[in-house]
Amino acid sequence: MIESLHGNLLTPPALLPPAQSERASTGRRADPESTQNSLLAAVSRKEYRRLLGMLEPVTLTFGDVLYEPGDVISHVYFPGVSLVSLLTLVDHHLALEVGLVGREGMVGLPLALGVGVSSTRALVQGAGVAMRMKSAHFLKELGHNLPLQRALFRYTHALMAQVARTAACNRFHVVEERLARWLLMTRDRVQSNDFPMTQEFLSHMLGVRRVGVTKAAGELHQRRLIEYSRGNIRIVDSHGLEVAACSCYQAIRDIS
Ligand SMILES: [Zn+2]
């Protein structure tokens, strides 16, 4: 049953305008194929159909902030092809990405651990559809849905490992390697070699000055691994970019 759901996960869902999203929140319009999220795919088809009554498809927009540090988690989000960055804020104005949440995970994970407040900024980095659930519904569901519980525990471990590895990566690896890793991680989650991105945004994600990003991107471009135009990046040589990335790309991938 899980396998059949996974099979359907490869079909990207259509982007729903807000009006449709609202209607879908009743469960009438949504169907099992409308998610590409691995955690939701961990439950049986029958269970998933029941969960649909509590899930609302929403379209996430590039640059949207779902949570700031200290915000009460009112909903949890299960991304499809969309992508959310988790950033730690330092001294109220410096922000650094410490984690990426895509179709393999959930935004609002502290709730699963009994904490109702976000410690990070959750910033939409890849536009697209996600399914969201009210926190009260999620907590009730988590109490008795063992397959979902197990999938969330495994994911919690994977995200903790990703955050730990990212901390070490930021300290030990050079910007060019980190940029290659980051582009590949983004590519894997949005399932496209082509995605909107600005160098200013990248400098926030990698915690380096814009000139450092420009230099690293220029080197990857010179090696014919990526192309970029205003507001867009395209990976033209996936294998070459994997060679250029630091070992953290494969290490994080193995844990997920
Ligand atoms: Zn690294």
Burial of 146 (0-12, 13-18, 19+ CB in 10 A): exposed
- Is 156 strand, coil or helix? helix
User: Distance, CA 170 to ligand 1 centroid (Å)?
Assistant: 7
Verify that 39 and 76 share a domain, yes or no: yes
Outline where DSSP puts E strands in the chain. 55-60, 65-67, 75-79, 83-90, 94-101, 121-126, 128-134, 194-196, 226-229, 232-235
Domain endpoint, select from 160, 186, 216: 160
User: Distance, CA 5 to ligand 1 centroid (Å)?
Assistant: 33
Q: Where residue 224 sits, what CATH number does that domain have?
A: 1.10.10.10
User: Distance, CA 167 to ligand 1 centroid (Å)?
Assistant: 9
Whole-model pTM: value is 0.81
User: Distance, CA 193 to ligand 1 centroid (Å)?
Assistant: 21
User: Distance, CA 206 to ligand 1 centroid (Å)?
Assistant: 11
Q: pLDDT digit string (tens) for 15-70?
A: 223 333 332 333 333 344 455 899 999 998 888 889 999 999 999 998 899 999 99
Verify that 135 and 60 share a domain, yes or no: yes
Verify that 199 and 121 share a domain, yes or no: no
- Taking phi over 0 as left and psi of -120 to 50 as alpha, with beta for the rest, 71 belongs to beta
Verify that 87 and 207 share a domain, yes or no: no
For tokens 């991105």, the residue is 197
CB 155 within 8 A of CB 106: yes
Task: Give the whole-angstrom CA distance, residue 183 versus residue 222.
Answer: 16
User: Distance, CA 225 to ligand 1 centroid (Å)?
Assistant: 18
User: Distance, CA 30 to ligand 1 centroid (Å)?
Assistant: 39
How many domains, the chain? 2
Verify that 208 and 143 share a domain, yes or no: no
User: Distance, CA 25 to ligand 1 centroid (Å)?
Assistant: 40
Verify that 29 and 141 share a domain, yes or no: yes
User: Distance, CA 183 to ligand 1 centroid (Å)?
Assistant: 12
User: Distance, CA 246 to ligand 1 centroid (Å)?
Assistant: 5
SS3 content of the chain, % helix, strand, coil (to 5): 45, 20, 30
**Neighbouring-strand partners of residue 60:** 128
User: Distance, CA 182 to ligand 1 centroid (Å)?
Assistant: 9
User: Distance, CA 169 to ligand 1 centroid (Å)?
Assistant: 4
Question: Does residue 166 sit within a domain?
Answer: no
Question: In a structure prediction context, what are the per-residue pLDDT tens digits for the chain, which is 256 residues long?
Answer: 333 333 232 222 222 233 333 323 333 333 444 558 999 999 988 888 899 999 999 999 988 999 999 999 999 999 998 899 999 998 877 888 899 999 999 999 999 999 999 999 999 998 889 999 999 999 999 999 999 999 999 999 999 999 999 999 999 999 999 999 999 999 998 888 998 888 888 888 888 889 999 999 999 999 999 998 878 899 999 999 999 999 999 999 988 7
| pLDDT (0 to 100) of residue 36 | 84
Verify that 25 and 65 share a domain, yes or no: yes
Question: Does residue 31 sit within a domain?
Answer: yes
Range of the domain at 185: 173-255
Domain endpoint, select from 160, 183, 200: 160
Verify that 10 and 128 share a domain, yes or no: yes
Domain endpoint, select from 105, 133, 160: 160
Verify that 115 and 179 share a domain, yes or no: no
Verify that 113 and 43 share a domain, yes or no: yes
Residue type, 7: G
Of residues 30, 39, 29, 38, the one with CA closest to residue 9: 38
User: Distance, CA 106 to ligand 1 centroid (Å)?
Assistant: 23
Verify that 82 and 198 share a domain, yes or no: no
Verify that 104 and 12 share a domain, yes or no: yes
| pLDDT (0 to 100) of residue 255 | 82
Burial of 48 (0-12, 13-18, 19+ CB in 10 A): buried
